[in-house]
Amino acid sequence: MTIIADATPRFTLCLPHTLAQECPCPGDWANLKNFSDDAHDPGGKTMCGIIQREYDAWRKRRGEPVRDVRRLEQAEGEEIYLTSYWNPECPKLPVGLDMQFFDEAVNTGAGEATKVLQHVLNSALSLNLAVDGEWGAASENALAEFMTCAAQDPAILPGIVETFTERRHDVYKMMLGDKYFDHAWMTRTAEIGAAALAMAKAVGGAP
């Protein structure tokens, strides 16, 4: 897999896990098996997890003409994942939690990922942080408090990674009850959660 030059090491490690959830042939971006246009998916035409609307907007910002998302190039897709989902929040998060936030942002949007994180920080720190999906000063302060606690006791990181997985699972259960995607969402949550937990344990809980 080729990752764009300015990608961070953590993004490079985490992206393949999300791509494995988004497309059947993650090692071959040009493979049309990675294209979908499911009538039950409001995202519409999608290639390697990038929807047509998002691809159009990205190309317009670069002053380039829009084109069918099936022509998405690997470097383009990686940059969209890096700039639209990984940055700016994931680099602030500890190992394991960064991948979970990233994958949730890709699947349901940054606002929903932030809500899950806010809920988890409330649980971990006994806070009353608003679960509003807005990453503001309160969320920054709560995260800083958690990072301080994790630095003092690295063993707490795997626990918060597990709590994130549990909350993500609960959120999907509370959403639409969509018969077309429920199983895939639950499987995704479990697989990403397991990989994130392994990452957190591998570094001894250190951010």
The mean pLDDT of 166-184, rounded to a whole number, is 78
Residues 156 and 81 in one domain: no
In tens, the pLDDT along 24-38 reads: 999 999 999 999 987
- The residues, ordered by sequence, that sit 6+ positions from 97 with a Cβ below 8 Å of its Cβ are 117, 157, 160, 161, 164, 196, 200
- Band (56; pLDDT cuts 50, 70, 90): very high
What average pLDDT does this structure show over 35-46?
A: 84
The pLDDT, as a whole number, for residue 183 is: 80
- How many domains does the structure of the chain reveal? 2
Average pLDDT along the chain: 90
Query: Given 86, 111, 131, which residue is the final one in a domain?
Result: 86
| Region 107-112 average pLDDT | 93
Q: What is the mean pLDDT of residues 14-26?
A: 95
Judge whether residue 3 has pLDDT over 90.
no
**Would the pLDDT of 176 be above 80?**
no
Q: Which residue has the higher pLDDT, 186 or 101?
A: 101
- State percent of the chain over pLDDT 70: 92
Average pLDDT of 116-129? 95
Query: By residue range, what is the domain housing residue 156?
Result: 93-202
Same domain as 104, residue 58: no
pTM, two decimal places: 0.91
Do 184 and 112 lie in one domain? The reply is yes
pLDDT value of residue 205: 45
Tokens representing 90 are 């994931």
Query: Of the ranges 56-70, 89-103, 142-156, 192-206, which one carries the lowest mean pLDDT score?
Result: 192-206
Residue 7 in this model has a pLDDT that exceeds 90: no
Of the three residues 86, 121, 154, the one that is the final residue of a domain is 86
Of all residues in the chain, what percent carry a pLDDT higher than 90?
77
Instruction: Indicate whether 33 and 63 sit together in one domain.
Output: yes
All residues at 6 or more sequence positions from 132 whose CB lies less than 8 Å from its CB, including other chains: 115, 118
Each residue's pLDDT tens digit, 74-94: 999 999 999 999 999 999 999
Confidence of residue 53 (pLDDT cuts 50, 70, 90): very high
Same domain, 126 and 179: yes
Within a domain: 3: no
Q: Which residue has the higher pLDDT, 38 or 135?
A: 135
Residue 155 has what pLDDT? Answer: 86
The dihedral formed by the CA atoms of 125, 201, 92 and 51, expressed in degrees to the nearest 10: -110
d(CA 2, CA 24): 17
111 shares its domain with 58:
no
